[in-house]
Chain A
């Protein structure tokens, strides 16, 4: 039980430190106004660790980003019958229940050392668009094509590119925005739908 507590403590510590960096870093809290970048919500909790002696010149230097690539939590149950676990105490029966063929063992094999950074990131090679403030029933159009409703597309991934985003509510209110999607970046769009001005109403 003590070991469980220690393991969970280590895990909690790692998570806490990762999120702490995420929230404290200057370059992280990128809250957009309208269709702006919001890296604080990146899909893989990306964090930018700025040098402790960051000055203005250093901001142009190479940046190191620390991020949480993913968490593996696994459980296992093994029962060997009949017979003795061949390795004897102290290894059996407490020896890695994960390697007894019933469960995949996260500690064996090559995970995670050989995977490159970012391998497990969601939406690999894509950017995320998050819609906020729009009614759920509003339709989403990308480059003129219908993409779905806000309810289904509250958050979606797009290839890097420039898109014309239009949100159209059933009551006729609309929101238009040109969005620029970059790899691994999250665009948080605060959509305020308004009634489009009719030709006759123009000054």
Chain B
């Protein structure tokens, strides 16, 4: 019995150790985010990441598939808040339908799929220079004479093939999944402030107007987001 308990404890410890960090560090208050709102004692702070910001924040190429929004939730200290990705939605301006966030697993798979469709063209230029010398015989008189000369050559090879770049292999997908999960907003019940990124499967435009919707206790909070 004690063996079972001890192995369970080891398993628990290992899983806790492997869990890694989760989310980002919330700012002192929701007001310190570019966009913020409050409803039913819950404060919401949000920041839409531009393509450049997303590229700096993530090693995974999230711009290929997703719009990333940093979310911070500050629950009322009296009651716990149940954080669920399902409570968020992103809507393009004037669009009828909205998009729910994707899980890190889906995002990683999407990036991998797009990376695998890339094409690599590799160029291999080459150049050579040579010097030869020797004795040549005149074909008419048969007299030997010293000859020498410099020769040069240049060439270029082009190889075209499927991409083997970042994000293509299964190991890369695992890494991306871990990164997106560890930086993502954690779900579950909380009484403390939480923050993290959520990923909407919408290809980010250079400019665009969106609105972030968050449902808390049946009430909808709407924050306008602008991609610039």
Interface string of A56-73 (1 = CB under 8 A from B): 110110111111111111
Which residues on the B side are within 8 Å of A77 (C-beta)?
130-132
Q: How large is the interface on B (under 10, 10 to 19, 20 to 34, 35 or more residues)?
A: 35 or more
Minimum CB distance partner of A112 in chain B? B157
Q: Is A74 an interface residue (CB 8 A)?
A: yes
Q: How far is the CA of A117 from the CA of B161 in the complex (A)?
A: 6
Interface string of B69-87 (1 = CB under 8 A from A): 0000000000000000000
One of B122, B127, B130, B148 near A76 (C-beta < 8 A): B130
Q: State which residues 1-35 of A face B: CB under 8 Å.
A: 1, 3-4, 6-8, 10-11, 14-15, 18, 30-33
Q: How far is the CA of A60 from the CA of B106 in the complex (A)?
A: 16
Which residues on the B side are within 8 Å of A115 (C-beta)?
159
Which residues on the B side are within 8 Å of A120 (C-beta)?
122, 124
Asked whether A69 and B123 contact (CB < 8 A) given A36-B57, A93-B134, the answer is yes
Task: Check A64–B156 contact: CB distance below 8 A.
Answer: no
Q: State which residues 98-118 of A face B: CB under 8 Å.
A: 98, 100, 103, 105-107, 111-113, 115-118
Q: How far is the CA of A6 from the CA of B129 in the complex (A)?
A: 12
Task: Check B124–A72 contact: CB distance below 8 A.
Answer: yes
Q: Is B42 an interface residue (CB 8 A)?
A: no
One of B57, B119, B132, B152 near A62 (C-beta < 8 A): B119
Q: List 20 A-B contacts (CB under 8 A).
A: A4-B150, A10-B127, A36-B57, A63-B119, A64-B120, A65-B118, A69-B122, A98-B128, A116-B159, A117-B121, A117-B162, A160-B169, A160-B171, A161-B171, A162-B179, A183-B166, A183-B168, A183-B169, A184-B166, A185-B166
> Which residue numbers of A lie inside 8 Å of B, CB to CB?
1, 3-4, 6-8, 10-11, 14-15, 18, 30-33, 36-37, 44, 46, 56-57, 59-60, 62-85, 88, 92-98, 100, 103, 105-107, 111-113, 115-120, 125, 127, 159-162, 178-185, 187
